[in-house]
Amino acid sequence: MTLLRNRSCRSRHLYHRPVISRVHSFVLQGIDAVPCEIEADLTPSEMPSTRIVGLPDAAVRESIQRVRAAILNSGFRVPRSHATINLAPATIRKEGPVYDLPIALAILQASGTIHPPAGNSVPGVDEYLVAGEVALDGRVRSIRGAVSLGQLAATLGKRGVIVPSANAAEAAIVDGIDVHGATCLRDVVAMFNGAGSIEPHPWVDMESVIADARPEIDFADVRGQETAKRAITIAAAGAHNLLMIGPAGTGKTMMARALPGVLPPLSRAEAVEVTRIYSSVGRLARRRPLKALRPVRAPHHTASAAAIVGGGTVPRPGDVTLAHRGVLFLDELPEFARNVLETLRQPLEDGCVTIARVHGSVKFPAKFMLVAAMNPTPRGGTIDDDVSRQAMDRYLAKLSGPLVDRIDIHVEVPAVPYRTLKGTRCGTGTDAMRAQVSEARGRQTERQGPRLLNAELSGRQLDRFAAMDEPASLLLGQAMGELGLSARGYDKIRRVSRTIADLEGSEHVQSHHVAEAIQYRLLDRVR
C-alpha cells in the first residue's frame, strides 16, 4: 500500500498542470519600443529552480536574484516550484534590469498572489505595459525609454503603463494613456488586487512648459560681433550650417550656445520626439522631464566616430541624434579626427543615421544644425602674430573639401576691441534676432509649405523658389569662375541668398543678396 501511495503521489506531481501567466513589457531597440511578453511557467517541484530564456543578457539573467529578494522582502511568498521565465520574442536580445518588475508580477500572478476579487472593476495586468528595476527591498528604480514605452502602449491600445515613479512625468507626455508611477512592488500588487491604487500621473501641459522655457544665454551678452550675429540670424532663418573662424576668446562658443534661443520654439510633436531620444539614453533630469528647449550638443574633439554618430554592439544614439531638432556644435573643428568628420556626411545630407549590425539595422533621427568653430591657426591666434601663411594652409587642409562644401556659411569672428568690451552698449539681442527669424520662416512656410526650409531645397526647387534677376545671375556666374565653386557650393549660395531675401522681405533674389551670400564662402576664397 505504501509503494502504491508513493507512486500515486509521484504521478500527481509528474502530471500536475503548470500555471502560466503573462505580463506585457517592451524591448528598446535604439529609441524605438518593440512589444515584449514575459511568460512565467510554474511547475511544483521538490527542488525549486528558476531559468530565464528568450535571449537575455547577463543583467536580465541576474534579475531573478533581485526579484526573489524583492518578493520576500515585500511580504509575499516565493512559490516552491520550477519556474521558467520566457521573454518573447526570443529572436530579439533583451538587456538591462527593465524586466525586473514584470518578471516579479508574472511570478506573483502565476502563484496566485495577484488575484483580483470577482466582480470587481479592478484593471487587469494585461491592460498595461510594465517596466522597472526592483531593489532588494522591493523599491522600484528608474529605467530608460519610458516615453517610447508610453507611445507603444498608445499604439497597442493599452489602458496605460506602470513605470517607476521617477519616470512617470516623462511618460505622461504621451496622450491617451494612464501613467502610474510605482514606488514599490507592494503598491503594484495592491493595485491589481483591488486593495489599493496608484493614482495616474497628472497630464503634462506641454504648451505651457515650452512657452515658459527661456535660453540661458542672450546674444545681448555677446559684446560686438555684429557681423557674426548677422550670419547666425541668416543660418537660423534658413536652417543653414555655419562655421565660425576666429582666434580664441572671441565668443564663438558663447554664440553657439545662444543659438537655440533664436530658433523657433519646439512644437509639441518635436518636444515629444526630442524627449523620447533623451529618455532612451537615460539623460532626462528628474525635475525637468520634458525637453522644452532645442538641444545643444558639444562633443570634445577627442570623441570617437561611435560617440558622434552612434554605434556599439547594441546600437546607441550618438551626439548627432542627441542634437536632433537642435544644434551640434563642434569646437576646434580641425582637431577632430578626419574619419569622425567624414561620418557626418550621411546625417548632414539625409537627416538620419543608419547603423547596420549582424542581426539588423537601426535608424536614428539626426536632423540638426551643424555649427562649427575653428581658430585660423593651430595656436589659436592670427596669421600675423602666430604662424606663417603656409602653416595656416596646412591647418585648414585637415578639413576635406566635401565637408566644407556641406557648410553653407563661413564667417570670420575677429577679436573684440577693448573699447567694445568695456562699453555699455550690448548690441543685437536674442529677442530681435528671433523676431527676424520668425518672419523669414513665415515667408518660407507660405511659399514652400511648413516642412521645407531653405536649406533643404533641391536644385529643381531652387529654380522655382529662388529665381534670380539678371544682375544676380551674372554675379553668381562670376563668383563660380573665380572661386572654383562645386555644384554643391553653387546651390549653397542660392539657398543662402534665398534666406537673405526672406529676411529682407523680398520675393525675388537680387544681386546684393547674392553678394552677401558669396561673402559667406570664406574658405572657398582661402582655398
**How confident is the model over 249-291, as pLDDT tens digits?**
888 999 999 999 999 999 999 999 999 999 999 888 877 778 9
Q: What is the pLDDT of residue 119?
A: 60
Residue 204 domain-assigned (yes or no)? no
Closest C-alpha among 360, 266, 283 to residue 317: 283
The verdict on 90 and 34 lying in the same domain is yes
Do 261 and 428 touch, CB atoms closer than 8 A? no
CA dist 233 and 440 (Å) reads 10
Q: What is the pLDDT of residue 11?
A: 41
Tally of domains within the chain: 3
Q: What is the arithmetic mean of pLDDT over 241-253?
A: 90
Beta strands in 305-418 (DSSP E): 327-330, 352-357, 360-365, 369-374, 409-412
CA dist 158 and 174 (Å) reads 12
CA dist 339 and 378 (Å) reads 20
The verdict on 248 and 330 lying in the same domain is yes
Q: What is the arithmetic mean of pLDDT over 88-113?
A: 93
Q: What is the arithmetic mean of pLDDT over 168-197?
A: 93
The verdict on 431 and 490 lying in the same domain is no
**Among all chains, which residue has been given the C-alpha cell 499604439?**
155
Check whether 518 has a pLDDT greater than 80. Answer: yes
CA dist 10 and 5 (Å) reads 9
CATH number of the domain at 47, please: 3.30.230.10
The verdict on 250 and 134 lying in the same domain is no
pLDDT band at 120 (very low <50, low <70, confident <90, very high): low
The residues that bridge with 41 in the sheet, in sequence order, are: 20, 84
CATH number of the domain at 527, please: 1.10.8
Q: What is the largest CA-CA distance in the chain?
A: 113
The verdict on 440 and 359 lying in the same domain is yes
Q: Which residue type is seen at 411?
A: V
> Whole-prediction pTM value?
0.87
Q: What is the pLDDT of residue 480?
A: 87
The verdict on 29 and 123 lying in the same domain is yes
Dump pLDDT digits (tens) for 13-61. Answer: 444 455 689 999 999 998 999 999 999 998 887 677 889 999 999 889 9
Inter-axis angle of helices 268-280 and 146-156, nearest 10: 120
Q: What is the pLDDT of residue 207?
A: 85
Cβ count near 106 (within 10 Å): 30
Dump pLDDT digits (tens) for 293-344. Answer: 999 999 999 999 999 999 877 788 999 999 999 999 999 998 898 889 888 9
Q: What is the arithmetic mean of pLDDT over 470-481?
A: 91
CA dist 522 and 410 (Å) reads 5
Beta strands in 251-313 (DSSP E): 296-297
Please give the backbone phi and psi of residue 429, each rounded to the nearest 5 degrees, phi first.
-105, 175
Q: What is the pLDDT of residue 315?
A: 84
Dump pLDDT digits (tens) for 489-501. Answer: 889 999 999 999 9
